[in-house]
Chain A
Amino acid sequence: MITEIAPAPERVVSRQTRPRTRRRAWDEVPRWQIYLPLSIYLLFTLIPFYWILLFALRPAGSTSLVPWPVTFDHFEKVWTERSFGTYFQNSVLVGLATLVLTTVVALAGGYALARFDFRIKRAFMLALLCSQFVPGALLLVPLFQIFAKLSMINSLGSVVIAETVFQLPLSMILISGFIRNVPPSLEEAAWVDGCTRFAAFRIVVLPLLRPGLVAVGSFAFVHAWNHFLFALMFLSDQSKQTIPVGLNTLMSADSVDLGALAAGGIVAAVPVVIVFAFIQKWLITGFSAGAVKG
């Protein structure tokens, strides 16, 4: 017999039940006092993006403030001549592999931190936190030597492992916070029903961790997608390089093709924007559920 666990009732706060004083305060604020600062903030945020779009879409040499006539020459140039098609593919591979590895290992480590008690737990948590202060550049030479010994230089695997290792401490801390929020009694009920520890974790705990997993996974993906240093140092073959390295090669020592750079920037930014647009809801839930209460 499997005990069904009813989902916790959502707390619905309707407009009618909202405290009277809060509603009055909200209603009394003139709309312009809300929308004007928000509009100014939005303008400051969007102008740089508009500038990137402008450079990417207007012809080279144009000084027009609107991208007209529109040209896709810069995109074609970076995608074909500058091999951004290959870089994009490599970045997707590195990003997804880091996401999967980080999430799986952080789940295991986070579960242990949340559910088990052992003597060096506090010291271990402290070590995890402290590892966040070590800059990646400091470990470049030892990491390079380790990967060279493992014949992993010039392999995307080296970047995935390095990115995962640097993502794990924060991810484990976050996941352990999310798991702590799941009452142990739910798992115990599943054990009573005959589940193994792993089955109970998979059937009962894992579904409740979805917001947390989205938060951790998206962070791992975005970090791996944007990170420049490891890809630069561990990958030499041009066909293995990733988008951040490709973007940097668009700036030479004394010349820069701004149109191509802007187009490359858009190619680099679009996947991240799409990822965030889809996961925004879970991300916010995840952070409010785990990170704050952690």
Chain B
Amino acid sequence: MKINIRRSGRRTALAVALGSALALTATACGDDGSGTGGSKGSEGSGKGEITFWDSNGGVRTDIWKQVIADFEKKYPDIKVNYVGIPAASAQSKYDTAIQGGGLPDVGGVGTAMLAEIAAQGALEPLDGRLEKSSLNGRLSPGLLSVSKAAGGGDTLYQVPTSANNGTLWYRTDLFKKAGLDAPTTWSKFYEAADKLTDKGKNAFGFTIRGGEGSIAPALDAVYGQTGITSFWNGDRTTVNDPKNVAALEKYVALYKKDTPSADVNNDFTKMVAQWDSGTIGMLSHNLGSYQDHLKALGKDKFRGIPNPTMDDGTRVQVSNPVDGLGLFKASKNKAAAWKFIEFALSHEENSKFNESAGQVPANTDAAKDAWIQQSEPTKLAAEALNGANTKIVQLPYYLPDWNTISKADNEPNFQKVLLGKMTAKEFLDTLAEQLNKAQAEWKQQKG
């Protein structure tokens, strides 16, 4: 039983197909642009509803909801719709909304994604608003300059809320048992990594990040050891300086010698999980995992100190991503959205938020609060960030290609270095070549 519908249905089928195609085309092209990266938005009445996207949703949901409740109490005529976005997908959610519409009024925008979003013209410049705001002069100048630099140079697109910092977490119980000093210098770090390793007992001195997110910690270790204080020497990066090559060789030599062999695939989740549940002496991560260590180990078994210094006490570290809030150009209620940003950055709210997140507040008054003195890792991180002996190597977050270069392009290469399939020099030369090219392109675009 086959029925031939060639003649009878051909015209109908053709009409339906054409109609569908035209309808879809019209629908796709007919967008008025509201809420997309290109639309200009408006100041609005300063009342009504605004939408806030939390780019690190989930773990921070509760504290943001508290901040929002406080805000709505102070401004009863403004309602904030909270949207928590999983951190790993925040960039793609923003990108889709920039192209397709539906951007929020305010969003969490870290320095790692700032350049890409700013380059698409989606963010409102904030210098003018900050100048007239009660926040003027109350935010860390250092963090503001990082925010400006990450946005591409002279314009402020992100108001910083918190600073993170590279932290060397170490097990005080294991160090005490082995009679080791705190790993405050790189020499002590390497000595401890060797002494704490006993492969027969599944004990290791260090866990290295070999998987996703491996490049920034590796660069932190490299610049920290060599003391080179600038990422650029003119238009050329210093990343493949011979001193850096030697430092990287020494660092990756820890792999398998003093670290588990599975570390080649370590992202932060695996790295933190195995440090919290095993017998590994040291872990290099940031302040963000403090609560995880506290829950797993209790407060007496570990400490978190800033990354080691050189033997003469000089501390060189790479810049860590700075969390912050951005105001989207497409917002139709920018006045209310800015009120929310101001409120979230106020002394009380910024302090409350960072105490929960375990990070260093951007509000300078909040940074003096008592809880920081009681939270040793945060206190030490704040001291290191502001210390006279600290030199910060600014990573080029402003390059729109930075995320691609530091992730997709070079993380597999770093794994090759760990596995001995690529030399440290080849790796850094490749990285340098890509960075130099991206920098040249960025300068050219900037004019």
Is B2 a contact partner of A145 (Cβ separation < 8 A)? no
Is B89 a contact partner of A184 (Cβ separation < 8 A)? no
A82 to B57, CA, bound (A): 11
**Residues of B contacting A187 with CB < 8 Å?**
1
B74 within 8 A of A: no
Is A249 a contact partner of B86 (Cβ separation < 8 A)? yes
Is B3 a contact partner of A252 (Cβ separation < 8 A)? no
B164 within 8 A of A: yes
Contact with B along A180-195 (1 / 0, CB 8 A): 0000100110000000
Is B277 a contact partner of A255 (Cβ separation < 8 A)? no
A43 within 8 A of B: no
User: Which residue in B10, B97, B288 is a CB contact (below 8 Å) of A254?
Assistant: B288
Is A115 a contact partner of B56 (Cβ separation < 8 A)? no
How many chain B residues touch A (CB < 8 A): the figure is 59
Is A256 a contact partner of B3 (Cβ separation < 8 A)? no
**Residues of B contacting A140 with CB < 8 Å?**
96, 100
B residues 30-76 in Cβ contact with A at 8 Å: 30-31, 51, 53, 56-62
A232 to B86, CA, bound (A): 9
Is A60 a contact partner of B296 (Cβ separation < 8 A)? yes
User: Which residue in B3, B87, B93, B101 is a CB contact (below 8 Å) of A115?
Assistant: B3
B residues 282-322 in Cβ contact with A at 8 Å: 285-289, 291-292, 295-298
A196 within 8 A of B: no
**Residues of B contacting A232 with CB < 8 Å?**
85-86, 89, 93
A residues 176-228 in Cβ contact with B at 8 Å: 184, 187-188
**With A148-B100, A233-B96, A252-B288: A61-B298 Cβ-Cβ less than 8 Å:** yes
B residues 164-214 in Cβ contact with A at 8 Å: 164
**With A60-B295, A145-B100, A149-B30: A248-B268 Cβ-Cβ less than 8 Å:** no
User: Which residue in A61, A141, A150 is a CB contact (below 8 Å) of B295?
Assistant: A61
**Residues of B contacting A188 with CB < 8 Å?**
1
B253 within 8 A of A: no
Is B31 a contact partner of A252 (Cβ separation < 8 A)? no
**Residues of B contacting A118 with CB < 8 Å?**
4-6, 9, 13
A71 within 8 A of B: no
**Residues of B contacting A256 with CB < 8 Å?**
268-269, 272-273, 292
A233 to B272, CA, bound (A): 29
Q: For B87, give the chain A residue with the smallest CB separation.
A: A253
**Residues of A contacting B164 with CB < 8 Å?**
254
**Residues of B contacting A146 with CB < 8 Å?**
24, 27-28
| A/B pair count, beta carbons within 8 Å | 133
Contact with A along B224-255 (1 / 0, CB 8 A): 00000000000000000000000000000000
User: Which residue in A120, A237, A238, A254 is a CB contact (below 8 Å) of B268?
Assistant: A254
Q: For B272, give the chain A residue with the smallest CB separation.
A: A256
**With A144-B101, A233-B93: A255-B292 Cβ-Cβ less than 8 Å:** yes
Is B86 a contact partner of A144 (Cβ separation < 8 A)? no
**Residues of B contacting A253 with CB < 8 Å?**
56, 87-88, 110, 288
Is A119 a contact partner of B24 (Cβ separation < 8 A)? no
A116 within 8 A of B: yes
Is A255 a contact partner of B96 (Cβ separation < 8 A)? no
Is B86 a contact partner of A245 (Cβ separation < 8 A)? yes
A115 CB, nearest partner CB in chain B, Å: 6
Contact with A along B378-403 (1 / 0, CB 8 A): 00000000000000000000000000
A232 to B93, CA, bound (A): 8
A254 to B287, CA, bound (A): 8
Is A148 a contact partner of B31 (Cβ separation < 8 A)? yes
B112 CB, nearest partner CB in chain A, Å: 9
A153 to B102, CA, bound (A): 9
Q: For B57, give the chain A residue with the smallest CB separation.
A: A249
**Residues of A contacting B9 with CB < 8 Å?**
118
A148 to B32, CA, bound (A): 11
A150 to B101, CA, bound (A): 13
A149 CB, nearest partner CB in chain B, Å: 5
Is B83 a contact partner of A255 (Cβ separation < 8 A)? no
**Residues of B contacting A257 with CB < 8 Å?**
59, 292, 295
Is B28 a contact partner of A258 (Cβ separation < 8 A)? no
User: Which residue in A144, A184, A251 is a CB contact (below 8 Å) of B96?
Assistant: A144
A256 to B212, CA, bound (A): 15
B371 within 8 A of A: no
User: Which residue in B30, B61, B102 is a CB contact (below 8 Å) of A236?
Assistant: B102
A63 within 8 A of B: yes
A251 to B57, CA, bound (A): 9
Is A248 a contact partner of B59 (Cβ separation < 8 A)? no
**Residues of A contacting B442 with CB < 8 Å?**
none
Is A254 a contact partner of B285 (Cβ separation < 8 A)? yes
A151 CB, nearest partner CB in chain B, Å: 12
B99 within 8 A of A: yes
**Residues of A contacting B13 with CB < 8 Å?**
118, 120
B353 CB, nearest partner CB in chain A, Å: 14
A68 CB, nearest partner CB in chain B, Å: 16
Is B83 a contact partner of A238 (Cβ separation < 8 A)? yes
A258 to B292, CA, bound (A): 9
**With A148-B101, A232-B89: A82-B58 Cβ-Cβ less than 8 Å:** yes
A88 to B19, CA, bound (A): 38
B412 within 8 A of A: no
Q: For A191, give the chain B residue with the smallest CB separation.
A: B1
A115 to B1, CA, bound (A): 7
**Residues of B contacting A61 with CB < 8 Å?**
295-298
A241 to B433, CA, bound (A): 43
Is A251 a contact partner of B87 (Cβ separation < 8 A)? yes
**Residues of A contacting B4 with CB < 8 Å?**
116-118
B84 within 8 A of A: yes
A61 to B97, CA, bound (A): 39
Is A249 a contact partner of B84 (Cβ separation < 8 A)? yes
Is B6 a contact partner of A236 (Cβ separation < 8 A)? no
**Residues of B contacting A150 with CB < 8 Å?**
27
Identify the interface centre among A81, A145, A149, A245: most chain B CB within 10 Å of its CB: A145
Identify the interface centre among A118, A140, A146: most chain B CB within 10 Å of its CB: A118
Is B273 a contact partner of A258 (Cβ separation < 8 A)? yes
**Residues of A contacting B93 with CB < 8 Å?**
232-233
A142 within 8 A of B: yes
List 20 other contacts, CB 8 Å, given A144-B97, A248-B86, A256-B273: A60-B295, A61-B296, A82-B58, A115-B1, A116-B5, A118-B6, A118-B13, A137-B92, A140-B100, A142-B100, A149-B30, A149-B31, A236-B83, A236-B102, A237-B81, A249-B85, A249-B86, A254-B164, A254-B285, A256-B268
> 5 A–B contact pairs at CB < 8 A?
A115-B1, A141-B99, A144-B102, A145-B100, A232-B93
- Nearest first, the 7 A-B pairs at minimum CB distance are A254-B288, A249-B58, A248-B86, A144-B100, A184-B1, A252-B59, A253-B87
